[in-house]
Structure formats: structure tokens, C-alpha cells
Structure 1
Amino acid sequence: MKILHINTNDLRGGAARIPLRLMIEQNEMGYQSDILVGFKETDSIRTFSFDIENEHNKDCIKDGYQYYDLSGSFRLHENHLVQEADVIHLHNLHGGYFNPFSLSYLSHLKPIVWSLHDMHSVTGHCSYSYACNRWRSGCGNCPILDEYPRLEKDRTSDNFIEKNLIYRHSKLFIVPTAKWIGDIASNGILSGHPMEIILNGVDIDLYKPKKKKILRQKYGIPTNRIIIGAVANGGTFGQERKGGRYVQAVMDRLVEEGYDVLLVNVGGDKKGYENESLYHVGYISSEEEMAEVYNTFDIYLFPSIADTCPLVISEAMACGVPIVTFETGGIPELVQHGETGFVSPFKDVDALYEYTKRLVTSTFLREEFSKKAREYSVDHFDHKSITQQYLDVYEKSIKNFKNNKSQVLYFDRKKIPEIIKNKEEFQNVEKIKGTGFTKPLAMPQKIIIISNRQKQFSNKYLLVTFEEALLNGVENDGAVFVDREQYQMSESYFSTMLYKGISSDVLMSTVVLKKQNDKSFFKSASSILKTDGLGFAIDSSFGGILYKSSFFNEHRQAILNGEVVRCTSKEEYQTELVSIPLNDYINSKLTQSVYIYGAGMHTKELLEECPSLKSLVHAIIDRNPLLHGTKFIEHCKIVSLSEINREIPIIISSASFENDIYEQLVKDIKNPLIKIYN
């Protein structure tokens, strides 16, 4: 059986680790299992990306449509991983990579199993509705538009209606990851589809009790204090949903009453002691290290206010750590109250405190709960058993698909929103619902690398120097890569980028901008400078670009010189396979003194990370009149647009609004403008 998992990304968050674990276990069992993602973050040779084709349609975003401006998922039928799969296992479809109207046609081509990790599938926009129950009656008048994934306009009622329309025109096998979300789905717009509840699995051979004293010494954690652990992506205080304020309230009371407790916060950027009762471990990406850190805890305090089947609870329990939590979502299905931990009434801080205190003051209770937590996790969370449950569901899904193969569920075009109905990609996939696949692309015969440091590359590639390529061109039946020495590449770059061949003129990866501590800057950069009716303008000086050999030969002088080239077709994968130090990247864009537009945190961090930039900054521009005349840092004063020299270039310093600012400045001034992210 060939299994293809589809998810937003392949590393960060529980919903990313779940398909990764399933894929690894399924391959170890002898199946062929791969992952297709919108945003590739690992070096895994079994995870692949696809071009999400984000049109950045401002009207779409402004009017409250969610992901309707994405087109790449309408081309998944061209992907050989999709074509060869016996079953497709969907995970999170939110996160800005998948157009929801793609779901219907995919379900006509392959058996679809869909794991529900949150509420997004059954609401008008949010992944968790908290106290709002409007999803029961169709959403509308949304009280939490800012909740992820946020909407600028309340279109939740229409979004809800259209999700229902999509599901009524899809063939799905639904897998809720907790009875809680299963009850919501079966009584909501996913009713009528077969369902089977499967909890999230844990590697109980990795996550298991270990020697606490040795591990505390390894991570600089005291061996003689009661350790209360808190884990969340961004740290327990970095996400409101994970209940950081309730953790703080419990800790404050424990410390105030004289208990010798230390909170170990895992997942943020900070490291070391913040005060006598708070110690930061930082972000941990390695599962081996995470299992060790769990084993430093005496108690795991997890007062989440919205969750389905959080992996952190299953992982901690497998390590023999007692849990104290709220009665939230599917959590009571994991923690056995009074046996493996305590489940406090929702948002009841007094009860949360009393339960935590009981464990703090009783070694016997902690030891009893620890044994039972381990036993329960072995019986209920073993990922080998969970994997087998999914394999059984795959077989049922395949059988259902075959039985319903002749049923073709075409949309009534009158009920489809204009922004979807007018997409050529949507029109094409409606046609293939009843006809099937197009022929997959063939892998290019050669990978041609143009480089003057050829010892850096394997001899399995065809290596050509810059001089040879400029003089003679390259063979016409390959993919051409131009080595840019400042850029670093992952070893899996070529296999990931070329897993389905190259059909466009240009195939590129986004580029990670690395800070001095080797962490990523705000967002990745793209080599696409401009998109218009004539095609795409590409900055060929970027690393991480592959060219169809015929296109390279036609434009080889400009490409080798790192100039801007125009192409009529391109694919761009959102990966973390290519990187460059931020300081080097900024230096490559500058030839003289500049202004920086924006007096915010982005600019502050930009200047901290790029020492050479400080001496080139003429001033900081900001539209806030209250800031004009003040100093941003040392010699950099803040000025208005009316005060600037019209010949000095301006760097736009914003991760979220770079394009909006660019378009406004183009209308207002004539200065050369420099984008960081393009």
C-alpha cells in the first residue's frame, strides 16, 4: 500500500509530528509512506513540498474569504505522489496552503482519510471556538474574528455554508482524534461521512521513564526541588490558548505559600533562570531531547483552554509524569482523573491550584500517578497500535471508494462564489472528476550544476564551470542549478525540489534568512520580484533556483551574472532547504546609504542582526507624527516622508505588510524602494 499524508508543514506543532510519526512507522512496517506539505521544514527525504500558488488577492482577504486565493492544490492531480497513492491521509488543511474547494475533486480521484486535529473543519473560520457555539447553527456575527486563522471581515456564515457544500460533494472517511471532536463533527456539517475515532500515538519506547537526577543535571535543573513543567510552541506564556496565565496564577500562589517549586518552561526563545521560580529550557526540536526534558518534571501543569488530543499530554504520561489540567476538549479522554493526574473544572483556578498542591506535597501520590500514567499510555497511546488502527481505516476507505467510484458529485455552479467559479484551475478539476489523471512528469535525466567550487558537489551530478556554461551552454535535457556561494543548502535539496521533475522555466525554493544565533528571521525571502500579465521577474542572484535547461541556455548570460530574468512559468516551494545569513543577504542589496521605513520591532531586530547596516542608515521613516524628531537608536532619528532626500533608497522593514507599504510608497514618492522578502 502506498500512503500519502498531506499537511501544512512537517515539523512545528503536534499536527505536524503526527503524520511524521505515522510515516516513519508505516515505512518500517513495509509500506511506502510519504508526506506532502505546503511548508517543508525538515530534511526528511520522505517529505515533499508543492507550489501553493498564493495569489495574495487583497480583495479575497479583505472580504473574509479563507484560502480561496490559493491555486496550487488544484494541481495536485499532476503530482506523481498523489497519482501513485492508494490512499491520501489529510491532516490540517488550514495554514495558508490548501484551497478548500480542492477537497471535492481529490476525493473523486483517491480514497481520502481526514484526521480532525481541531475544529477548523466544522466552523466558519476558527480552529477553536472557545465559548462560542455559533457553529451549531451556521456561524455568522462572529465574536472572535481575530482567532486563528483570523478574518478581516465577518464572512463566517458564507464560509460555513460553502464548507457544507464542499463536504456534500466529497467522499471522505473522517477520523476524529478524540470523541469530543467526533461528537461535534457527527452532529455538524461532516455528518453522513463514515467516522472512526483514533487517538494520537506516542513512541512509548522513546517516551518512557528515565533517570530523573542525571537528566536534571544535564539540563541545569536542580535535583532537590519540585519541578513543575509547562510545554507549548512559543513557551507556555507565548500562547493564550495554552493557559499561561493559569500556570502563572498557580505558581504565584505556591511560591507565596512557601513551597519550593520551580517552573520549567519549554518552547520559547529564552534560556536560563528568569527568577528563583522560573527556568527556561528554550525551544526543543529533537524528540529524544523532549523525552529527556519530560523526565525532569515531577508534575506537568497544562491548563489549556482549547485542545483536542494534545500530544504533549500523551508524551508526558508515557514518561510517567502526572498531569494537572482543565476539563478542556478531548483532554479528559487522555487524563484519568484521580489516577494519572487531576482534571480541574474548566478555568477553575482554585481547583487547579489545590490539585497541583496535592501533588507538590505528596511524594507517594506523585509516584502512584506516575506508575499509572505510564501503564495507561502503554495500553492506549502506543503508536504501533495507533498505526495499525489507521491501516485498518485505510482499507475501509479504499473499499468505500471503490463502492462509490461511479458516483460523480459535480458542483452546481450557481452556488459557487465568483472567486472560485472564475478560476481556470477549478474549472479544470471539475472536468476530471469523472475522467481521472493526467500523465505524471518524468524526472529530468540530468542535474547540471554550474559552480567554480566543484569539490563541494557529488560526482553523480554533471558539473560545469561558469566559464564553460557561458561559452557553450548546457545540454538540453536536464535541470540546471547555479551555485551561489553565500547560500547554504540542505543535502536533500535536489531530491526534494525535483521529486516530480521540472516542467516550468524556473523551479525555486524560498530562502531562510538566518540570524546570528542560526535561528530564522521573521519570514523567508522569495526570488520573485514581480508578477504581471507577461509572466514573472526573477532575481537570479538568489540561491535555491533550478532552471529548465532550454530556458537557461536562452538566458544564460543574465543568469550567470545574477541579473533579473523574466519567465512565463515558475514553481516555488516553501521550504527551509536553502538559507543565507541575514547580514550577508542585506549587504547584497545595498550599495549606498539608505532610509529604513518603519520604526518598529522588525527594524530594531534588523539593525541588531546586521551591524554593517547601522552605519548606512540615513534615518528611520515612520508615519506616526508623535515619533518624528525622536531617536530610534543612537544616531538614527525618526523622520516623516516629507523630510527625506528623494534620491536615497528606502528599505521597507515589515514582515506582514511589505507589499502594502511598497504599493503605497510607489504612489507617494520616487525614491528607489528595496524589499527584504520580495
Structure 2
Amino acid sequence: MVMRILMINTVYAVGSTGKIVKQISRKAKEQGFECLIAHRYETEGVDYPENTVAVSSWWDCHIHNRLSRLTMLRGAFSGLKTRRFLKKVKNFAPDIIHLHNIHGNYINLSLLFKYIKKHGIRVVWTFHDCWPLTGNCKHFDMVACDKWKTGCGNCPQKNGALVDISAYMYGKKQRMFDGIKDMTIVTPSAWLAEKVRLSPLGKYPIKLINNGIDLSVFKPTESNFREKYGLVNKKIILGVSFEWDRRKGLDVFASLADALPADYRIVLVGANDEVKEALPNGIITIPKTDSQKALAEIYTAADLFVNPTREDTYPTVNMEAIACGTPVISFKTGGSPEIADDSCGLAVERDDVAAMTAQIIEVCEKKLYTKEACLARARSFNMHDRFEEYIKLYEDLI
């Protein structure tokens, strides 16, 4: 008998979570599972296979987003689209529903969880951020908030909502998530697993499965990057993000540019014109690229990858850099310090720019970490090994 897995995520094949869903579904199919992948709506330029289905539409999500921003009600709309989707779920009859990011304002969460509980469907839920734990927020480290442990309220991140209903949403979410007969929560980092244990959702089984990357793509890749940007005799300090802001440490790079010696050059990938204008002239900015090979070339050319993210779950970019032979320095935030061990990088206290500056110089001048050590560490990032753990989990549940 063929076992059926329904995966639900905001996106498919794009972004970190979309790529994870795509790879897990491929691995499951190879192992004989039948998969249906539900996503928000179709995006131009993405090849959607026959086993994908859009839950909503761009217009419906646009309305849902507007209403959510005004009211702070997340996942409370899109009722008609969700009912239509659940009819497809009924026809597919999944043995397991694997939830990923469900907070993109594209699905009615009350209807979804009522359906799950009514039909007693087994659930695997991969937490890619902290949203399931809170009344409103995907992350809470930057604002040093721990209200999610007790019930939220007076949210420091209500972001323009007319009324703060984070306490109400916290209670509503816990009621929705309570009573699922068979649910396993998966986290990509030990840090997030510990946060789940401290929350009401800690009553469910928690399994740690680190994310993985494609080591056939992210590997030492030679190029003319240094020649192209006039960096032949420079030490390249690299940062990569597709959402540059204070949360990702953009201001830290501006400070580093002033503090590092003259032969150091900061290169930031994923910067748009607005970001470029906000940075000192000495920083080289490169637009977002969808080419993983181009990214591998840039990672390989760098002397050091720096990730001053102030809140993150398990940053993929750290793994990608190490897999290309480049050591990593990060802040001690979220799951970021778990990726680079003593052989290929280090972490400093969050917002300690002086310590980060000193460590950057020491690592580069003394060449503390070798390419070989980075590549040895990267073997543990193999996505095929990591996603095989999901297949084992499915088999154990069924």
C-alpha cells in the first residue's frame, strides 16, 4: 500500500523553506511515498510539477495580508479558498500531513486544524521559525521578549496593527494546536527545540533534524571574482542575505567597514539600491542572484563569511559558506552558533562589534581555519542524509 504525504508550505522550490520542501518530497517519492505539495499561489518563473496545488491566489492573499496587518489576526481569512483546498485534501486522503510555514496569510488555520483533528490525521510540523510559539511574532530575540512562555500581550512588534490582540491570538493558536492526536514537532536547531520545550507545545514529541544543502553545488568553485571586482590582493569579508535590514546585521557591516584595516573589503550579496545607498562607499554590493553556482563562486573567493544576524533559526548561508571552504564568524543568536564548530569558525556575543572586528582580523591574519577543515565539517550538511531522517520519521509514524 502506497503511503501518502501532504506537505503544506508558503512556497515551493524558492526560498530556503521552498527548497527544503522540494527536496524532501523528491526523497519521499524515491522511497515510494506519494506526495502532494500545497503552497500559497503560483509564482512566475517556477516550474510546478503535477503533484503541487495552490491553496489560494495572489489576490486572495493580498486581501488576507491587508486584513491581517490591520487586525493582527493571522490565518483567520481565506475561508472559501481553504474549504476548496480541503476538498482536495479529502480526495488525496493523506496518511501524514507535513506542515512547514503556514503563517503566510494564505490558509484559514482554524479550518485546517479542525479538519486535521476531525479526521485524526498524523502530523509532522517543521518549525522554521518561532511563529507557532507566539501570539504574533516569527522571532523575538531582538526585542528580548519572553512573553510567549506565558501568554503574550502588549506586543513590542505589533507593527502598525490598530489593536494589540497578541494575547488573544496566543490563546487561539494554542487551542487550535491542542488536541492533535498524533503530532511530532521537528526543529532544525537545538536552540529552537529548547524554546519549544519551554512552551505549551512542549507536550508534543520534539525531534531535531538539521537542515541540509546540496554539496554538489556548494563546493569550492573557482572563478575570476577577485579580478572582476579588483580584489586580488584584498581580504574579502562576505555577507549574504536577501532581506538586508537591522535584523540581518546591515548596520554591523557599516561599522566593520570603518574599523577594519585598509586591505580588507566587505562584499554584500543581495543588496538592492536602497541598501546600497545606506552603506559606506567602501562596501561592494552585489544584487540578489538566483544562480547557486554564482553564489558558490563568491563564497569560494571570500576569506571569511560573516553573519551578524540578530535572530535566526539555522541560517543556510553559514552552511553554504563552509561547504565552499570558507570559515564563518557569527553572533551567538538562535541556531547560528551550532553550524560552525571549533574547526571552521566561531561566534561572538550579539552586538559586540568590537569583538567581531578583532576576531575577523585574527582569523584572517593567522589563517586559523583551513579549507580542508571546513570541507570536513560540511560533510554533515549533506541534504540527502538530513532529509533521509524525515523518511525514517514518516516510516516510524506509519
**TM more than 0.5:** yes
- Cα distance in 2 between the residues matched to 1:309 and 1:166: 26
**CA spacing shift, 1:383–1:82, aligned 2, 3 Å:** farther
Other-structure match for 1:381:
381
Contact in 2 for aligned 1:104/1:170 (Cα 8 Å): no
In the alignment, is residue 341 of structure 1 matched against residue 345 of structure 2?
Answer: yes
Query: What amino acid is aligned across from residue 15 of structure 1 in structure 2?
Result: T
CA apart distance, 1:333: 1.4
The answer on whether the counterparts of 1:2 and 1:85 sit within 8 Å (CA) in structure 2 is yes
Percentage identity across paired residues of the two chains: 27
Q: Which residue of 2 aligns with 1:49?
A: 54
Stretches of structure 1 that go unaligned for 5 or more consecutive residues are 399-678
Aligned to 1:313: 318
Distance 2:73 2:295 in 1: 38
Query: Is 2:21 aligned against 1:19?
Result: yes
Number of residues paired by the alignment?
382
1:161 and 2:167 aligned: no
Cα deviation, 1:304-341, whole Å, max 9, x if unaligned, reads 000011111111111111101000011121121x4211
Which residue of 2 is the match for residue 243 of structure 1? 249
**Counterparts in 2 of 1:57 and 1:136: CA distance versus 1, 3 Å:** closer
Could you state the TM-score of these two structures normalised by the residue count of structure 2? 0.87
Question: Once the 2 structures are TM-superposed, how far is the Cα of residue 282 of structure 1 from its aligned partner?
Answer: 1.0
CA distance, structure 1, for counterparts of residue 64 and residue 384 of structure 2: 41
> What's the offset of the Cα at 1:88?
2.2
Partner Cα distance (2:392, 2:26) in 1: 17
Query: For the residues of structure 2 that align with 1:204 and 1:59, how far apart are their CA atoms?
Result: 42
CA distance change for structure 1 residues 132 and 23 in 2, over 3 Å: closer, same or farther? Answer: same
CA gap 1:365/1:139 in 2 versus in 1, 3 angstroms: same
The alpha-carbon distance between structure 1 residues 57 and 344, as it changes in their structure 2 partners (threshold 3 A), is: closer
Report whether the alignment pairs 1:91 with 2:100: yes
Residues 76, 82 of structure 1: 8 Å contact kept: no
Matched residue, 2:259: 253
Aligned mate of 1:69, from 69, 77, 98: 77
Q: Which residue of 1 aligns with 2:122?
A: 111
Equivalent positions of 1:350-429 (< 5 A) are 350-362=354-366, 364-366=367-369, 368=370, 370-378=371-379, 380-398=380-398
Structure 2 counterparts to residues 535-550 of structure 1, below 5 A: none
Q: Does the 8 Å CA contact 1:66/1:151 hold for their aligned counterparts?
A: no
Question: 1:519-544: CA deviations, max 9, x gaps?
Answer: xxxxxxxxxxxxxxxxxxxxxxxxxx
> Using the alignment, how far apart are the partners of 2:210 and 2:196 within structure 1?
15
User: Deviation digits for residues 30-59 of structure 1, max 9, x if unmatched?
Assistant: 544442110333123254312265565977
Pair 1:265-2:268 in alignment: yes
CA drift at 1:108: 4.5
Asked whether the equivalents of residues 136 and 188 of structure 1 are also in contact (C-alpha less than 8 Å), the reply is yes
- Which protein has greater RCO, CA pairs closer than 8 Å, 6+ apart? 2
CA distance in 2, matches of 1:278, 1:57: 35
User: 2:337, 2:346 within 8 Å by CA — same for their partners in 1?
Assistant: no
* Structure 2 Cα separation of the partners of residues 290 and 321 of structure 1: 12
**Structure with greater helix share of residues:** 2
Per-residue CA deviation, residues 645-675 of structure 1 (Å, 9 max, x unaligned), is: xxxxxxxxxxxxxxxxxxxxxxxxxxxxxxx
Shift of the 298–275 alpha-carbon distance from structure 1 to 2, 3 Å rule, reads same
4+ runs of 1 displaced by more than 6 Å?
A: 57-60, 271-276
The amino acid of 2:397's aligned partner reads S
Could you tell me how far apart the structure 2 residues matched to 1:82 and 1:111 are? 16
Distance 1:43 1:57, change over 3 A: closer
Instruction: Verify the 8 A CA contact 2:225 2:301 in the aligned structure 1.
Output: yes
Single out whichever of 117-126 and 1-10 deviates more from structure 2.
1-10
SS in 2 for 1:280: strand
The answer (yes or no) to whether the contact 1:117–1:176 under 8 Å persists in 2 is: yes
Q: C-alpha distance in 2, partners of 1:58/1:275?
A: 35
**Hey, what's the Cα distance between the residues in 2 that align with 1:113 and 1:57?**
26
Distance 1:158 1:268, change over 3 A: same
Return the letter of the residue paired with 1:17: K
Displacement after TM superposition at 1:217 (Å): 5.5
CA offset at residue 23 of structure 1? 2.6
CA RMSD of aligned residues (A): 2.7
- CA distance in 1 between partners of 2:397 and 2:381 (Å): 23
More strand, by proportion: 1
**Cα shift at 1:303:** 0.5
TM-score, normalized by length of structure 1?
A: 0.53
CA shift in 2, pair 1:30/1:293, >3 Å: farther
Which of the two has higher C-alpha Rg? Answer: 1
How has the CA–CA distance of structure 1 residues 21 and 281 changed in structure 2, closer, same or farther, with 3 Å as cutoff? farther
Q: Distance in 2 between matches of 1:3 and 1:73?
A: 18
The amino acid that maps onto 1:185 is V
Aligned-partner Cα distance in 1 for 2:385–2:90: 26
Given residue 383 of structure 2, which amino acid in structure 1 is its aligned partner? H
The answer to whether the 8 Å contact 1:231/1:267 transfers is yes
**Equivalent residue in structure 2 for 1:233, among 217, 239, 242:** 242
Maintained 8 Å contact 2:72/2:136: no
Residue equivalent to 1:622:
none
Distance 1:272 1:303, change over 3 A: closer
